[in-house]
Structure formats: C-alpha cells, structure tokens
Amino acid sequence: MPHVFTNGIRLSFERYGRGERVLMIMGSSAAGRVWTLHQTPALVERGYQAITFNNRGIVPSDVPPGKYSMADLVADTKGLIEALNMAPCKIVGTSLGALIAQELAIGWPDLVRCAVLMATKARSDAIRVAQADAERALVESGVRMPAEYDAVTTATQMLSPATLNDDEAVSMWLETFRHSGGGNETSYGQAWIETGVDRRSALRQVTAPCRVIAFSHDTITPPHLAAEVADAIPDCDYVEIPGCGHFGYLERPDEANAAIIEFLDKH
C-alpha cells in the first residue's frame, strides 16, 4: 500500500481511477477501504480519481501511542494533500472525516476547492456529549466487550429502523460488524478526539462551496445538528436522505452517490 510521511507519521493511501482527484476522508475507527464498497466505483465511473486513506490509528497507517486530537488528524490530512500536490482539492468526508474537512476549510482555505460533508455537525448537544463521555469511560476502563455485543451496539447506533427491522438485511450487517473487530485497539487514540466544540462561528469564515448531506435517522449526528453546519457556512446547501442512519452512504448508496457527484460536477 503506498504511503506518505506527514506530521511525524506514515499515512497509507490508495488511488482509484484517473481524472480530477477527490480526497475521501473516512470517519472514526474505520479504514479508507469502506469507501470502496459504493463511493469510489461511482466516482471512477464518473471520471474522477478517488483517493482514500487510513487516518492515524488505523493500520496500515501508523498507530502512535496515546490520545489523539482533532488537530493531529487535521495536520495529517493537510500533509497528505500537500505531499500529493492536490491543493486545492475536492473533498468528501463523513462523520469525523467531515469534521476534519471543515477544519481544513476554516484554517487552510487554499487547500479546499469544495467539500461534501456527510453526517456532520458543528457542535454536540447534551445527549451526544453524554454518549461520547460514556464511550471514553468504557475505553479507559480497559473492559473489552465481546464481539457479539459490539456488533449489536454498532448496528443499533449506525443503522436505520428500516434496516434493523429487516431480518435479512440486519443479519448481514451483524455478521459484518462481528468480523470487523468493532472494539479494535488500533483506534484507541481516536476515542479521545474532541468533536463537541462549538464551531458555528468559525464555519462562517469558510469560503469554499460545500454541501451537507444528512441522514434522516442518524442518531450520532442527527439532521438538526447537520443543518446547523449548512446554515453557518456561507456557500452551502443541504440534502437530507430519508430512511437511513449514520451509515447512510452504505444503506442508501445510490442516493448518497447521486448527491455527491451532482455537487462535485457543479464545482
């Protein structure tokens, strides 16, 4: 797997297709290869080159010891863009990846041509703060939950009621989560990234055109929090995809891909 050295670590990345490059930034505890299930094939078919990578803490990228910060991952991604001479680049990010893209657009506008921000937020409300605190407490306790428990927890947090109530569909997802190592130690450092700071004021400085894509049944970054990002960024529109949860780009890939590509083509 090719890699670059940036911000004192090695980041692994992959290229798919040829054409104008699009940087894909994945969410927490997940590898860049998740994009290859649906998004990179659609982008390649449209004539783009998709570049995916693994954030620090996800092998084969380096897994430095200790607790990571948002600034760490933003600096890593900035270094990758510069090392691959991509600036200004089109970016697609989801969840933590969208927050990284937002920070790049705030702090380094010369690096970002436009950005698609999926399952994003500009702050955390009370229940999301409590959820993050609870997850960190579990990590810090050293307790390792069985894979079966992690699979069910991940499914109920990340998927829509429609998927959860479909026996065939949810069985496939549970099997996937059981084998993906949901409690993977390699992502330990990512658990400490603070994503709840209110960035609405800072987002008003963003000059790049953006599109927020929210998923109607997302309980991690619900539509009302995603809409605040679209409201804050001056040149930003908002798309809400029905019938899917935090993994909406996997549950409803056709709709998500259409919204991504329509925006990228425009900018």
Residue 204, domain member (yes or no): yes
Residue 241 has pLDDT above 80, yes or no: yes
* 151, part of any domain: no
Residue 166 bears catalytic tag: no
Q: Is 0.85 topped by the overall pTM?
A: yes
Q: Which one of the listed residues 28, 61, 150, 246 is annotated catalytic?
A: 246
CATH at 59:
3.40.50.1820
User: Is 171 annotated in the active site?
Assistant: no
Q: Please say if 180 is a catalytic residue.
A: no
| Cβ atoms within 10 Å of 212's Cβ, excluding its own | 29
Q: Which of 12, 29, 95, 160 is catalytic?
A: 95
Assigned domain for 14 exists: yes
Residue 185 has pLDDT above 60, yes or no: no
Has residue 195 been placed in a domain?
yes
Worst-scoring range by mean pLDDT, 2-16, 138-152, 181-195? 181-195
**Domain span including residue 219:** 3-144+183-266
pLDDT in tens, 133-166: 998 999 889 888 898 999 999 999 999 999 999 9
On whether residue 174 sits in a domain, the answer given is no
The answer to whether residue 253 is domain-embedded is yes
Domain count, the chain: 1
- Angle, alpha carbons 60-104-116 (nearest 5°): 85
Whether residue 159 is contained in a domain is answered as no
Could you give the percent of the chain with pLDDT greater than 90?
89
Q: Report how far residue 28's alpha carbon sits from residue 25's, in angstroms, rounded to the nearest whole number.
A: 10
Instruction: Using alpha carbons, list the distances in angstroms from residue 26 to 23, 32, 51, 138, 145.
Output: 10, 6, 11, 23, 24
Q: Residue 180 — very low, low, confident or very high, per pLDDT cuts 50/70/90?
A: confident
Is residue 11 one of the residues assigned to a domain? yes
